[in-house]
Amino acid sequence: MARVAVVTGGTRGIGEAISLALKEQGRTVIANYAGNDERAREFSERTGITTMKWDVGDHEACLEHCSRITEDHGHIQIVVNNAGITRDGTLAKMSFDDWNEVMRVNLGGCFNMAKACFPGMREAKWGRIVNIGSINGQAGQYGQVNYAAAKSGIHGFTKALAQEGARFGITVNAIAPGYIDTDMVAAVPDEVLTKIVAKIPVGRLGHAEEIARGVAFLTSEDAGFVTGSTMSLNGGQHMY
């Protein structure tokens, strides 16, 4: 029976590439999304992957939807915490709401999804959790104290939960992408993007599929001895 995988923020950009990679592995994939119904519908029609809408920052919503997925498909054994938002600004201009919303979704979503799925993984004596961090959580970034703090928190969350899951056959790892050619990066002004690429030793942006291949490995049967690790996929921009 195919293992059930949930990818949060799984219908666009890096999340879409991850959902497709897991489907190619033979997983039963459910792609979560938060807002764009039209994009989710198009994604589902094109890929055949089931989509479900909920806010990963809402604890009760995560419990409810993961319970529904379990009833329909069986225990969730793979979780990829990819959903994330930005509310950029310097500390002087950042509101508490800007801070709180990024922490609620980006870091809180990891807790909520792990809390919902960990018992089923423990019962099955097998599980894979992959949390998508960021180069900016490792190196920091001007104007992103909320985002950098949340992503940095993900790396600590990963190491701590890995210690809890190891004896149950549950691995917990993170991937820290650098700058990837997604819609979010495409919105950056050309002159800024040129400066960013100039700092990447390989001389280009990354591709979403490259992140997805990392996730595919970490969620595979072959990765059972890898836990508590962060895979930095950034073209050498930050060697951590």
Both tokens of 43, joined, read 């994604």
Q: What is the DSSP string of 31-61?
A: EEESS-HHHHHHHHHHH--EEEE--TT-HHH
Q: What is the DSSP string of 58-100?
A: -HHHHHHHHHHHHHHH--EEEEEE-------B-TTT--HHHHH
Q: Which of the following is catalytic: 33, 142, 147, 179?
A: 147
Non-local (6+) Cβ contacts of 226 within 8 A are 171, 173, 218
Give catalytic status of residue 147 as yes or no: yes
Taking the C-alpha atoms of residue 21 and residue 16, their distance in angstroms, rounded to an integer, is: 9
Provide the strand spans (E) within 67-192: 76-81, 127-132, 170-177
The residues annotated as belonging to the active site are: 147
